[in-house]
């Protein structure tokens, strides 16, 4: 396998690997929206075990091929029960995967991520920014849907700072929140990167 950050234009996890190791301990990292295993591979290469969740059958197959050891991947909806017990993990990873749901469902996901973490566990989270104009944050959002746009027929939520803080207002300590521009796709992407600790 390649080293962390190799073959990627968005090596965002590299700076958090020490924190992941500290908080995960011997427990697996729960990854919501593992896609084709890009971040899973970085974590496994750094010595972590990963439990990944992804809805796409094709992406799960690709993740299993990319990370054949040190990870288990589940094809399921985030809104289904997680394949780990409450209070059993020290780190949850959710990179650009929490923006497909209505606000009440997104709040419910934040509560469930909180429950699955041990006290002192951390969530590493990246969210679409309202300034992400190249990737769908344009024009007025539908009335009453709080920056929830239809992008190529798929609903996508875009967050301002207040929305991120509102999402994690209960039971979380915000360790870091930063708006960043990353080179991950053909066009630059603007996102929020948040590190939150379960109180």
For tokens 């959002």, name the residue. 141
pLDDT at 117: 98
Query: Does residue 88 have a pLDDT over 90?
Result: yes
What does the chain come to in residues? 199
Per-residue tokens: 174 = 């915000």
Full-prediction pTM beyond 0.85? yes
Lowest model confidence (mean pLDDT) among 3-7, 23-27, 158-162: 3-7
Instruction: Convert the pLDDT of each residue in 6-57 to its tens digit.
Output: 445 789 999 999 999 999 999 999 999 999 999 999 999 999 999 999 999 9
Confidence tier at 2 by pLDDT (50, 70, 90): very low
Taking the CA atoms of 9, 165, 56 and 89 in sequence, report the sign of the dihedral they define: positive
- For residues 147 and 138, the answer to whether their CB atoms sit within 8 Å is no
Query: Does residue 3 have a pLDDT over 70?
Result: no
Query: Does residue 140 have a pLDDT over 70?
Result: no
Query: Does residue 4 have a pLDDT over 60?
Result: no
Instruction: Convert the pLDDT of each residue in 167-189 to its tens digit.
Output: 999 999 999 999 999 988 888 99
**Backbone phi, psi, residue 14, to 5°:** -55, -40
Query: Does residue 1 have a pLDDT over 50?
Result: no
């Amino acid at each position: 396998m390649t080293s962390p950050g190799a073959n990627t234009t968005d090596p965002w996890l590299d700076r958090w690997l020490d924190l992941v190791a500290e908080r995960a301990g011997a427990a697996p990292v729960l990854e919501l929206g593992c896609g084709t295993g890009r971040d899973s591979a970085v974590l496994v290469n750094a010595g972590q075990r990963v439990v990944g969740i992804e809805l796409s059958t094709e992406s799960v197959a690709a993740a299993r091929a990319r990370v054949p050891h040190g990870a288990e991947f589940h094809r399921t909806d985030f809104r289904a029960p997680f394949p780990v017990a409450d209070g059993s993990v020290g780190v949850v990873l959710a990179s650009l995967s929490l923006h497909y749901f209505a606000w009440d469902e997104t709040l419910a996901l934040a509560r469930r991520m909180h429950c699955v973490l041990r006290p002192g566990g951390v969530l590493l989270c990246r969210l679409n920014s309202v300034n992400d104009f190249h990737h769908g944050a344009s024009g007025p959002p539908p009335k009453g849907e709080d920056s929830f746009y239809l992008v190529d027929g798929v609903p996508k939520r875009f967050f301002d700072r207040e929305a991120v803080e509102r999402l994690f207002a209960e039971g979380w300590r915000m360790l870091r929140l930063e708006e960043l521009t990353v080179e991950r796709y053909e066009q630059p992407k603007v996102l929020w990167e948040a590190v939150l600790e379960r109180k």
